Amino acid sequence: MNIVSPGFTGRRRSGSDLPPGQYLTRDFPVLSAGPTPHIQTEHWEFTVTTETNDLVKWDWAALLALPAETITKDIHCVTRWTKLETEWKGVSLDTLLADVETGADFAMVHSYGGYTTNLPLDDLLDGQAWIAYEYDGEPLDPEHGGPARLLVPHLYFWKSAKWVRGLVLSDTEDLGFWETAGYHEYGDPWKEQRYAGD
């Protein structure tokens, strides 16, 4: 297995430090809260529901018709692995939310299969989050969240919900799947916000 021993904090190619408590891996570990859903693209859709119950939705063809970006980012799992310079292709949440009228502060992310995670809406904007549908130049495998997943690389990777199907915007913060099980409500890897109270 191509990993560096846990606790290694040597130089990174990007020139900045590894988040505390993380080790480097060249693998892409598969971790999921339940069975892997297999969603056909012809049945896939992504919805945004505002705090006033307005609904906007995109099917697969509509998502692919939007301007896409190639994103290269490090990703950090709460289980302590970090993978450097991962390459994705997807649509920015800035693009998807550009015409959505909302005054909400929070978003609950919903996935096919029932998974949820909560984020401040500000963390999905300003070039910080994408709906990703390719990884390393290939369509995203179901095991890694395909056909599309949320990508929020500045937070622990459980916030980058696999098999994403929508956002529900809200004035109040509710907790998602792992957050109700004791994980941190925000999940900043640089502050080691792994568990509630960290």
Condensed to tens digits (0 to 9), the pLDDT of residues 157-169 reads 999 999 999 999 9
Cα–Cα distance measured from residue 121 to residue 137, given in angstroms and rounded to the nearest whole number: 28
Domain ranges of the chain: 43-173
Considering the domain delimited by 43-173, tell me its CATH architecture: Alpha-Beta Complex (3.90)
pLDDT computed for residue 13 by the predictor: 43
The Cα angle at residue 187 between residues 185 and 191, in degrees rounded to 5 = 125
* Residue 25 · residue 82 · CB < 8 Å: yes
Q: What is the pLDDT of residues 72-108, one digit of tens each?
A: 999 999 999 999 999 999 999 999 999 999 999 999 9
Q: Residue range 12-34: average pLDDT?
A: 78
Measured in whole angstroms, the distance separating CA 82 from the mean position of its chain's CA atoms is 14
Q: Residue range 178-184: average pLDDT?
A: 97
* Residue 158 · residue 40 · CB < 8 Å: no
Sheet holding 106-111, edge to edge: 55-59, 45-49, 164-170, 106-111, 116-120
Residue type, 81: W
Q: Residue range 146-159: average pLDDT?
A: 98
Q: Which of 168, 35, 193, 21 minimizes the C-alpha distance to 108?
A: 168
Tokens of 47: 């919805």
Q: Residue range 13-26: average pLDDT?
A: 79
Q: Is the peptide bond before 147 cis (omega within 30 degrees of 0)?
A: yes
